[in-house]
Structure 1
């Protein structure tokens, strides 16, 4: 129990003066927090929380910010046994309200401008999940909210797989991990700070990767002696396009990517230009951490394949529902100590996704005779936009709440840079003169820019529906693909974009 809290406390005891987090981005550039600093500040924040009205043994909420008090606040909440629901400040108001209504936290913690407590549902009984680290939502849909309870035991076990992969692929233990992405959710925490804590490695927080900052990416890694990085494919593409060349005389870091489908072209361009393997990791929030960490080819560079599972059991189930023995293709199912125990307060979704202890991922893979896996598609109605899993129904619900919208259908898109996004077909109520841009702006306000679709197209025709009035997804995508001057849908794009190395 509380393995991650014990991990931090053990590092503070054994290596109190070693750096745990170094900030190289404004407004905190130059700040160094040691392992002892994190735990000492956690005690101070714990007292502040209690004085502000926080309670122990209940669900809380934490607004995420790139602030030095983030990790100490998590430690303090773990000490109180008040695991937080993680809130991204860039979410829209409707999405945040939906998540708070579903999770009913007793209090909310803000980090900016200072640690403050706001009471929320003091009279609501709180069914705090046992051994919980935090609660992360993969979908804020009001009709089908999906939240993962990350427990200390499962997350620690999954992160041991991360550590094993670091040691196996690098040969030595990394000591400095770079974080170059915004603090937005559980994935960013787990792929950097949790990985670093279990490794006993320092996390260096660099400027967020953008078009403007990508140029100096490699020089920042070299200056800070970084020996491991993790970038989502969209950020890899920024480095490919806008960074200066890497100094090939300086040993390079161990490079991972994941959290969204990787284009073979993006991987090939990265490896050819910078001379480093880019390992294609794979996992879901439901597996607490990554489960596969890529595959090294005979030429010393990584292939597009995700490799073999590190610490989980994996099997494939074909379209007929049979377990695939040996080489073959089917939906990936995973089991093991790091696999979640079910969605928070959503037994129906749990029953559909977790069957006899096996997680149905919704992702399709092909396995060769050596047991090496390659992703070839996705069966779920979800899109990986950056590091977010966004369900099409979530966008449709938000659109349907607009007073001028009669019906809406979201479609998964593949953009020109091989990243994924969402389009939305909208039919207006009779007599409405609302413009597509107005609907799009409304969706951005409701969902936040990162979860909203990139394009809204108005249609006068009824949307294709089948039994029980459900949208017929293939027909919706076919209609979208018939439109002029729009990004193409994901139909068949896994196979047509190239098989990779």
Structure 2
């Protein structure tokens, strides 16, 4: 059952049904034609006209030449300059012994060097391992050891954080630092290999080294955490990432045809203010891949500052921004918004955190921009469903419908049968965007990936027109402003505090971040701890965004069901009244 539109829509909208548009866009000879190929023994729908590999994509987009690819402060890098830097770094990687299948880790904030390192690595058939730049040294150390990375690229901040960890990572042969802050301590400088961004345009045109790269070759390991155990590396392929290029184009064309407009033959140049980190698939796959293929411009910020963002939007005539609902809320509610011309904004899109229908409405009414969102996860290389324009305004609580190359279904909790339309169950998804599995974790892979489908752990329903509604997360995840916080990881740290006998982490609503982590703790008799004691304990062991914003103390052990599982739904209510017991 769909919801009523939150703003008045053109009474003549839509001009065509979803089925009619799908048939038109995917017809033989059309840009979004589908094909079927064997992926891991499973016949799978794919976009017939997607670039075969990231290596070929790298070579194709060089054609955008003098157009600006990245902007960071006063550093402006063109597509040609970026290609030359990628080519030179790819040759240097080869000289350092990096070959097909070797892992190259990357831990840095959004900088012009980030996409250079990414494309240089995958273009020679090696596997790039983007790491969360917010992680502590210990968290980074775990992922480096788990992936077996032989080379690590870091910015100065991450290098300082990892200095005491390098001797605990035996497979790591070399660390290469960009924008170093202090002593290198044996690491190499990226500048010595390819120069600084301002010099890339003057590099010799040497082209990429020869490499044999196929669509289903391993390309990436992005780390995601499960509800139990250590973080897992999702092993992505070249096909996974080029799929999102076509998926985003298909969604844009679908929205235009729904309102009766004809999609352009060639992609239009757009400028995006990218304020979410590239170490997430949302930014790397859903944003960067789409933008690169269309010859768009990415603008980076050192850190998110709403007023600086408005200055950039006005100066650079930014067309798109977003990433998480927080961004949109802070732009809407900023007291100085009227001082800036934000009329160039055409779209504010996001995913990765819950959003209120009120936000959808205000984006449209106050900016004149069309809102957009979608559903995906690390294991789906981002996009499976997308929602934009009038369809989103008509169903603001939905996550959209699958792109034509993807399928979704809702299964019973045992995973044995499909559930009828409208019933809530576990969401399953399949398509050419689904990763191969988890790096070196065959049991977890077998549990999660079934005959081409991924069991998402999300509880959802699908309406009669195919629109997805995610109603809860079966996996115990809290999403704070787009950052996943896995309860068991924080709970394990809390349990390690002397005297903590019982504890649970829950998500409490937050207007702009979606939700924040909060803890309920029961102490052993005679033990003592304050809220700040426990917050400091977590802060010293995990990234800052995982620290509970509030800790309540329960006089008894926490409520459980018949199976012994803590009733977290009941605990969330405690934070409304701040009372326990």
TM-score normalised to the size of structure 1?
Answer: 0.82
Partners of 2:107 and 2:132 within 8 A in 1: yes
Report the alpha carbon displacement of residue 52 of structure 1 after superposing the two structures with TM: 6.5
1:290 equivalent to 2:370? Answer no
For 2:317, the equivalent position in structure 1 comes to 225
Q: 1:164 to 1:200 in 2, by over 3 A?
A: farther
Where structure 2 has 5 or more consecutive residues not aligned to the other structure, the ranges are 1-50, 174-213, 257-262
1:134 equivalent to 2:227? Answer no
Q: 1:458 to 1:327 in 2, by over 3 A?
A: closer
For 2:133, the equivalent position in structure 1 comes to 89
Task: Provide the secondary structure at the position in 1 that maps to 2:557.
Answer: coil
Of 44, 60, 84, the residue aligned with 1:10 is 60
Of 116, 128, 141, the residue aligned with 1:72 is 116
Partners of 1:11 and 1:35 within 8 A in 2: yes
For 1:260, the equivalent position in structure 2 comes to 353
Q: 1:435 to 1:101 in 2, by over 3 A?
A: farther
Q: 1:155 to 1:101 in 2, by over 3 A?
A: same
1:169 equivalent to 2:255? Answer yes
Report the alpha carbon displacement of residue 81 of structure 1 after superposing the two structures with TM: 3.3
Deviations 1:405-457 (A, max 9, x none): 34432112222447112112233455443322121122122111123322223
Of 220, 224, 238, the residue aligned with 2:330 is 238
Partners of 1:414 and 1:487 within 8 A in 2: no
Deviations 1:102-136 (A, max 9, x none): 32322322233899997843399xxxx97233211
Partners of 2:376 and 2:384 within 8 A in 1: yes
For 2:510, the equivalent position in structure 1 comes to 415
Q: 1:349 to 1:414 in 2, by over 3 A?
A: farther
Task: Provide the secondary structure at the position in 2 that maps to 1:200.
Answer: coil
| Residue correspondences, number | 472
Report the alpha carbon displacement of residue 193 of structure 1 after superposing the two structures with TM: 1.9
Q: 1:216 to 1:46 in 2, by over 3 A?
A: closer
For 2:170, the equivalent position in structure 1 comes to 121
- CA distance in 2 between counterparts of 1:338 and 1:74 reads 18
Deviations 1:140-194 (A, max 9, x none): 7782432211211111113320222234436443412423425352332223322
Q: 1:405 to 1:394 in 2, by over 3 A?
A: same
Q: 1:402 to 1:9 in 2, by over 3 A?
A: farther
Q: 1:435 to 1:79 in 2, by over 3 A?
A: same
Task: Provide the secondary structure at the position in 1 that maps to 2:247.
Answer: helix
Q: How does 1:40-439 map to 2 (within 5 A)?
A: 40-46=84-90, 48-49=92-93, 57-112=101-156, 120-122=169-171, 131-139=217-225, 143-169=229-255, 171-172=263-264, 173-183=267-277, 185-187=279-281, 188-206=283-301, 208-210=303-305, 214-215=306-307, 217-218=309-310, 220-242=312-334, 244-245=337-338, 250=343, 252-297=345-390, 303-310=396-403, 311-318=405-412, 322-417=417-512, 419-439=514-534
What root-mean-square deviation, in Å, do the aligned CA atoms of Structure 1 and Structure 2 show? 3.5
- Bigger radius of gyration: 2
Deviations 1:372-414 (A, max 9, x none): 2333322221122222222211111222233453443211222
For 1:451, the equivalent position in structure 2 comes to 546
TM-score normalised to the size of structure 2?
Answer: 0.72
- CA distance in 1 between counterparts of 2:157 and 2:486 reads 33
- CA distance in 2 between counterparts of 1:409 and 1:445 reads 19
- CA distance in 2 between counterparts of 1:249 and 1:411 reads 37
Task: Provide the secondary structure at the position in 2 that maps to 1:446.
Answer: coil
Deviations 1:307-349 (A, max 9, x none): 2211301122246853134454433211111112212222232
For 1:492, the equivalent position in structure 2 comes to none
Q: 1:250 to 1:390 in 2, by over 3 A?
A: closer
- CA distance in 1 between counterparts of 2:494 and 2:159 reads 35
- CA distance in 1 between counterparts of 2:172 and 2:575 reads 52
